[in-house]
Every structure is written in C-alpha cells, then in structure tokens.
Structure 1
C-alpha cells in the first residue's frame, strides 16, 4: 500500500453500505466520526492513523486498526518502533520474498477503503505529489 493517502468517512462507509451492514455503519460512525483528523487529506502512513480494515477473518465486519504492519517475529516495543516505518510500503516484485511481508501477503490480507493515494515524482531535486483517484470519485478498495 502507498503510504500517503486521502481517506474520508464516506470512503470508510462505502463497503458497509454496499452490503447493508447496519452494525458496521453504526460502528464506523461511532468510532471514526469523533476523530478530529477525518477526513484525512494527504496523510502519511508514518503517522499511523486509525482506519477501518476489512480482513479475510471478518470480510463484512470492519475492525478499527492502526495503519502499519507488525511482522510476527517482532519481540518488543523497541523493535516494533524500529521496524514499523520500514514496513509501510511493499514492492510487488518482492512482497512474497521479504521476511517482513511474506507471511502476511500470503495469509493475512485486508482491504482499506480510501479516496485516493499520492504517488511521489522527483524532478530537478524536488518532490511532487501526484494524486491518484477514480474519475467518478468513488473510493479505492
């Protein structure tokens, strides 16, 4: 996943509404609406914001989670903090080879609904964020 995104409450509600899951809709509104940082505009994964995820364990029930991957072999909080920011973005070419991602990529996938993401391009020593989203402004799963 890209580590710079835009997410709105509407994007977070999209899947629950699609499946008519009233319990999930209520939970999303109850837990996310009070957060002062929604909508999240150009938020960095390095801030580890809370978003609802849909996992293979509960595909229709969202779970409020902090953004970030914690490899199973992390032993303590100091090791967690050191690795957490290094595991925000995986390359498709090596995701099944790297120890940090391999097990999760095979067995523990999830979906996060966002409005779009930012892809950074470098030109003349400067970085420019390009926003990538759907033309119809629907959330990206």
Structure 2
C-alpha cells in the first residue's frame, strides 16, 4: 500500500519536470498523509497539463454521501479495471501525483520505517486516479494512488508498493483518449530502477510531524 509520502520539491522544479504552463500553488511537506489535499497533475483537452489539489481518499461518484463513504487511498492494479469504484476513473480520469519519496514500515523487526526515493533525490510521479463526487450544490474532487505487488527492492519491507510512472510515459498515462489496456501496460516496475530504500527514525510515525527529521537516516 501507500499511506504516507513526501513532496519537498520547489514549485519551479514541479513546473519544469511536468512541463506545466502555469505556476503551482502547494505546501511542500515531508509527511503527507491521507485525508489531506494533495497535488495532482491532470491533462486538459488541448493536451496541456495542469496542477490541481485533490482530497487524498477517493470518494466514488456513486457514493450516497462523502462523510460515511470509504475514502479509498489506494487502488490495486490487479483489479483497477474491474472494481466499480475505480473502473470509470481508470478509463477517463487518470492523473500523476508528484513525490520526492514515500514511506513504508517493515513489520518483522520492530516496525522500522523506510523512506523510498530516487538515488538522485529528484521528483517522480505515482500513478493516480481522480473522481468527482457531487450531491446537490456540493462537489468533492478526490484521488487515489494505484499500488502493485512489491518488486525485489520492496519485498523485504512490504508486499505492496505504489506504482510509479516513468517520465517518458506521462503523456500516455494522462491521455484521456488512450485505450485502457495500453494504460494498464504502463503499470510496471520499470520506474523503480533508480530507486533506493533508506531506514529513517520513528519521528515519521506521527503524521503531525512534518520536518526534515522525517527523512533523517537512523
């Protein structure tokens, strides 16, 4: 699964990496948790990309209400085309979720926390889906992160991992007209080639903690 991550890049770095036409407004964070509004990259009808802030915890459009609905922070790659909560979003509302790293906890030896990041510490992007829930005059835009079975890097830590989209595949992933089967083939672990895992202190365990100590090597 993916339940915590970091995004500490500057607005300028995000604009350059994702080739955005407009500036980005967001709050960098070392410890982003579900239930917050998080930065997403979506593609507009003209093919340009826009940064938007969406609620992390997808509320299906068919949900009766947003309060009591299950806020789905992750969607499993294996069933993303079949589950009613994700099926339509996978076909029509794919997004990229920028990150500098994510956290996972290895439970066999005292729940050690790890920060998983690129070896060069640069930006990357999770594969995400977004949804619009609307009831009368109220509208909520929410998102989820797609996960897959752990690869060789992640298996010693956890049995699941978030899917990362390679920069060369950003357009294919965001393209609303792309065939869903082609989009599914982008959900592989090739983007983990330059990733590494770093043990960090238990400071990150508390979602209220948001500073450099969250990624400090222990």
TM-score normalised per structure 1: 0.72
Q: Secondary structure at the match of 1:99?
A: coil
1:127 to 86, 104, 111: 111
Report the Cα offset of residue 132 of structure 1.
Answer: 0.9
In structure 1, C-alpha distance between the alignment counterparts of 2:61 and 2:44, rounded to whole Å: 17
Contact 1:16 1:60 in 2 (8 A): no
Q: Secondary structure at the match of 2:103?
A: strand
Q: Secondary structure at the match of 1:105?
A: helix
Q: Secondary structure at the match of 1:42?
A: strand
1:60 aligns with 2:49: yes
Report the Cα offset of residue 13 of structure 1.
Answer: 4.2
1:98 aligns with 2:97: no
- The number of residue pairs the alignment matches comes to 122
Q: Deviations over 1:33-57 (max 9, x none)?
A: xxxxx43223222xx2222211233
2:59 to 67, 70, 76: 70
Which residue is equivalent to 1:35?
Answer: none
Task: Indicate the structure (1 or 2) with the bigger Cα radius of gyration.
Answer: 2
Which residue is equivalent to 1:108?
Answer: 93
In structure 2, C-alpha distance between the alignment counterparts of 1:91 and 1:66, rounded to whole Å: 19
Report the Cα offset of residue 17 of structure 1.
Answer: 2.3
In structure 1, C-alpha distance between the alignment counterparts of 2:20 and 2:56, rounded to whole Å: 25
Q: RCO higher in 1 or 2 (8 Å CA, sep ≥ 6)?
A: 1
Structure-2 change in CA distance of 1:120 and 1:101 (3 Å): farther
In structure 2, C-alpha distance between the alignment counterparts of 1:70 and 1:118, rounded to whole Å: 23
In structure 1, C-alpha distance between the alignment counterparts of 2:3 and 2:118, rounded to whole Å: 18
TM-score normalised per structure 2: 0.49
Unmatched 5+ residue regions in structure 2?
126-218
Report the Cα offset of residue 20 of structure 1.
Answer: 6.2
Which residue is equivalent to 1:79?
Answer: 68
Q: Secondary structure at the match of 1:132?
A: strand
1:138 to 122, 146, 161: 122
Report the Cα offset of residue 9 of structure 1.
Answer: 4.4
In structure 1, C-alpha distance between the alignment counterparts of 2:105 and 2:38, rounded to whole Å: 22
Coordinate RMSD, CA, aligned: 2.3
Q: Write 1 or 2 for the structure with the bigger share of helix.
A: 1
Contact 1:52 1:62 in 2 (8 A): yes
In structure 1, C-alpha distance between the alignment counterparts of 2:20 and 2:88, rounded to whole Å: 32
